[in-house]
Amino acid sequence: MKLNIKHMGWYALAAVLGMVQALGFAPQPLGIVQIGSLAGMLLLLPYVTRPARVAFVFGLAWFCAGLYWLHFSMHGVGGLPTWMSALAITALSSYLAVYYMLALGVWRRFFAELRVSSYLVAFPALWLVAELARGYVFGGFPWLASGYAHIDNPLLKGWFAIFGVYGVGFAAAMCAGALAFVGRCAIERRREVKGLALTAASMAVWAVVGLIVQGLNWGEKAGAPISVNIVQPNVAQTNKFDEQVMLSNTLLFIRHATQSSAQLTVFPETALPYPWTQVPIEPLEALHTRLSGRAVLMGGVGIDEAKHEFYNSAMWLSEKDDPLDPPRYDKIHLLPFGEMIPWGFQWFVDAMKIPLGGYGYGQSQKPFELNVAGQTTRIGVNICYENEFGEELIQAWGNGDAAAPNVWVNMSNLGWFGTVSHSTAQEQHLYMSRARALEMARPVIVATNTGLSAYIDASGVVAQQLRPDAAVSATVQVQGMQGLTPYIGWGNAPMLGLASLLFGLSVFLRHRVMALD
């Protein structure tokens, strides 16, 4: 097959735009970059001869550039050869790119005429469908969903509490569509006066309303602040599972918890990476005697001996509970390959020498209750990968706001994915935690093994961040919140409905215009 230099130029440009799209997420969230790269891709599509392929290259470059840090876990920790790690990242990125290839391919095939409805209705609807699909199909992988790039965008961040990250991504797609429409009018020297006026008016409405909703307070204070000690132990993944290291860390962590004066002390995911029944009894009981008016959240491995199942768990240690069999939260949404093995991929997991996986699924999201001086603060917990799924976390409101969390804690171990100086995984994870804070109007405590550990207030602002890649801890005053955001009430239902409605509307408008022509 003879290569066409012109075609290769289109592919190269699409790859550059895809890499720029990834740059919009980390190391800083740059919404204008995300919108600009997407607008550039949309502007490119009407002029290429292989639109589906060009769109695929855009998505492939976006995800390869945004998820390169998976190499550190597969190669650096799991021992996979570099070529196999690169192939795995390319395969995952290809799978994710297919959603956007289909969305942009359909847009080019049916809606590429220079009409306002094509750019402000059809394109955002198709983009939203692609985002929702990859967030749900096969358990979902919504990492780098486009809304996360706008966590600091003053015109769009207010929409998190109303429509969630997918709603913000939809608004960003509409902005990209508007820019592309204006750009195409300029390129083709078309005077679409009505279209340009409608575009300007639409963007003005988004901006003004976005600024207004950003100033709304969806929650109110629930009691007095509580003191929380965030522990970041910085244990290297290469020796985390060494028997002597595990024993040393166990004694160190329990001693730290014993000496902590904070009302709540939080350790990261699998701080003790072995079954709870194997934790040394004497230091654990010594800790229990010092827990008057205090509690500890310890990452560990829960066990159900009757079912012979292990769980990625958060152990709740308090004075009223048995430390040898404490209440716990078992992770519900497991990470593919790391904690659950998709059918047909056992060989791939076996190729990585990582002594974790095969966990059971947790069931309950019931928060823990921290009782201090007659005040009860409910602590909701999610573990690592669950941080991506706001629509699942809001299920904690199933019994009403009176039984829902006042504070969220995310316990993670991002040490799998390299140091902060070499990886953007930690920043990306932190932005997702900030989005969850905005969606639910709740403060979020992020406790990780190596960083980025932080306290995020209910407005999504990082109030305190621990120094990354270091063994440190910090005590912060956390104000619990109560009340409902619109997103808690309806989740992603409006976005699912909107995608269907707008797509139907765009089809109707297209056929109507064709009939008039």
Least confident of 222-226, 316-320, 348-352, 420-424: 348-352
Q: What is the largest CA-CA distance in the chain?
A: 84
Q: What is the pLDDT of residues 258-302, one digit of tens each?
A: 999 999 999 999 999 999 999 999 999 999 999 988 999 999 999
Residue 473: half-sphere exposure toward Cβ, Cα within 13 Å: 19
Q: Tell whether the torsion through CA atoms of 493, 497, 502 and 507 is positive or negative.
A: positive
Would you call 305 a catalytic residue per the annotation?
Answer: no
User: Is 331 labeled as catalytic in the residue annotation?
Assistant: yes
Distance CA 174, CA 151 (A): 17
Do 112 and 479 form a contact (C-beta atoms < 8 A)? no
Partnered with residue 289 across adjacent β-strands are none
pLDDT value, residue 474: 97
Does the pLDDT at position 381 exceed 90?
A: yes
Q: What is the pLDDT of residue 3?
A: 40
Give yes or no for residue 470 having a pLDDT over 60.
Answer: yes
Task: Sheet with 295-304: list strands edge to edge.
Answer: 328-330, 309-318, 295-304, 264-266, 226-232, 472-478
As given in the structure block, the two tokens for residue 136 are 């749900």
* pLDDT at position 117: 85
CATH topology for the 220-484 domain: Nitrilase/N-carbamoyl-D-aminoacid amidohydrolase (3.60.110)
Catalytic residue among 175, 384, 427, 439: 384
pLDDT above 90 as % of the chain:
70
For 144-161, give one letter per residue: b (16+ CB within 10 A) or e.
bbbbbbbbebebbbbbbb
Q: Is the pLDDT of residue 509 over 80?
A: no
pLDDT, one tens digit per residue, over 305-351 is 888 899 999 999 999 999 999 999 999 988 877 666 666 666 566 66
Residue ranges of domains in the chain: 5-217+492-516, 220-484
Q: Which of 131, 269, 386, 388 is catalytic?
A: 269
Q: Over pLDDT 70: what percentage of the chain?
A: 92
Q: How far apart are the first and last CA of the chain?
A: 40
Tally of residues, the chain: 517
Is the pLDDT score of 195 beyond 70?
yes
Give the pair of three-digit tokens for residue 140: 């979902």
CB atoms inside a 10 Å sphere around CB 331: 24
Look at residue 511 in the predicted model and tell me its pLDDT: 55
Could you list the beta-strand ranges (E) of 218-290: 220-221, 226-232, 264-266
- Residue 68 CA to residue 224 CA, distance in Å, equals 43
pLDDT digits (tens, 9 = 90+) for 22-74: 999 988 899 999 999 999 999 999 999 889 999 999 999 999 999 999 999 88
77 pLDDT band, cuts 50/70/90, is confident
Amino acid code (one letter) for 211 = L
pLDDT of residue 451: 83
CA atoms within 13 A on the CB side of 61: 21
In angstroms, how far is CA 90 from the centroid of its own chain? 20
Query: Token pair for residue 490?
Result: 């309806």
Which of 64, 240, 331, 427 is catalytic? The answer is: 331
Active site residue 320: no
